[in-house]
Amino acid sequence: MDRFSRLWGEMLVVTPHSIFQRYGWNRLAAQVFRDRLTPAVVAVESDSGAAIVPAAVHHKARRLELLGEALFDYRDVLCVGDREVLRLAWERLAGLKLPLSVISVEAPSATAGWQEFPLEPFASAPQVRHDLTGEEEFRAAHSRLGRQFRRMQKKGVFLRDYSGSDAELVRCLYSRKSEQFANDSNNIFCDAARRDFMVAVAAAEGERCDIFTLETPDDLVAGLVTFREAEWRRFYTIYFDPKWARYSPGAVLIYEATAQSIACGLSCDYMTGEHPYKMRFANSSRPLYRVETNAEQLADITSRTTIEGAAYLPDEGSSSGVWGRTRFPVQSTG
């Protein structure tokens, strides 16, 4: 994958994506989850465009998916310029003769890199957009949680914030998260490799990973792991100590972090899932889709003619794009 790092970075400058399309996140996922996924990343580059499909083969399920295992919320391919290069990348992957499963694709991407694919509604991502509300308005709308916070403060609870560099705290949060619902088959953090990934990616993000906590001098009451990018704060994981459940510490922490984010001009993304506690805060949401094809359907999709895009990849050392028809070899990791 290191062969693609420069191209990967250049493409993200031209067409920004979420944190889940960053090269560092994908490389780390390929490394940490190598016991269950074999990277099959394909890059195609010509003088009229470029594309990267960060694919992987799931060993047990014998299917194609995108890197990130169960930890990437928003999946996407990278493509700039002539979309024929993207078709060629998918054609290479179709040659593996495996079904494809992708969860989940954002709505904007559904009209770009996934035009030819069958899209099934999956879930929504609730949000609080700062352009639709102010801090005071938000706090007034959820004043009950403000009162709950003041009650906890009288019990000696205080709010703190850390960065992703505090590896000990991150590991503690995800260990407690795994214990919180230990008997729940949907508790993805019972898997040690996933906890290891979160510790590593939080450290890699450093100051762009904000961790909010409610704690006493002797106890961790609640913890919230978030990631900042551009005008967004992504609310990734919430944990709370059941002993404090009567005070709704998880909701209080989300409330306080959201209010502070709005005050800083950040919108808040509560990520995948229309859980009631998210919907009570949200003033917007984005639909998400899943892609499921069998091997024959994928082969058929890659054989279709694609439409040329309007973006371009800048030439190295130049502020202008290069257009043409010269095709360079397809490269892949698999």
Q: Which pLDDT tens digit goes with each residue over 161-214? A: 999 999 999 999 999 999 987 777 788 999 999 999 999 999 999 999 999 999
Q: Which CATH class, in words, describes the domain spanning 2-124+287-332?
A: alpha beta
Specify the pLDDT at position 320: 27
Task: From 90, 147, 128, select the one nearest 234 (Cα to Cα).
Answer: 128
Stretch among 22-31, 81-90, 187-196, 313-322 having the lowest mean pLDDT = 313-322
> Is pLDDT at 284 greater than 70 in this prediction?
yes
Specify the pLDDT at position 334: 57
Task: From 116, 87, 121, select the one nearest 106 (Cα to Cα).
Answer: 121
The stretch 122-134 carries a mean pLDDT of 97
Main-chain phi, psi angles of 137, to 5 degrees: -65, -40
- pTM of the predicted protein model: 0.89
Right CATH number for 130-282 from 3.10.20.440, 3.40.50.300, 3.40.630.30, 3.30.10.20? Answer: 3.40.630.30
Pinpoint the residues of the chain covered by CATH 3.40.630.30. Answer: 130-282
Alpha-helix runs per DSSP H in the chain: 5-14, 23-32, 84-94, 107-110, 135-141, 143-154, 167-180, 192-205, 249-263, 276-281, 295-302
Q: How far apart are CA 106 and CA 125, in angstroms?
A: 9
Contacts of 230 (CB under 8 A, 6+ apart): 16
Specify the pLDDT at position 162: 98
If you count DSSP H runs as helices and E runs as strands, how many of each does the chain have, helices first? 11, 15
> Is pLDDT at 151 greater than 70 in this prediction?
yes
Specify the pLDDT at position 328: 42
Beta bridge partners of 46: 49, 327
> Is there a contact between 253 and 238 (Cβ–Cβ < 8 Å)?
yes
Specify the pLDDT at position 317: 37
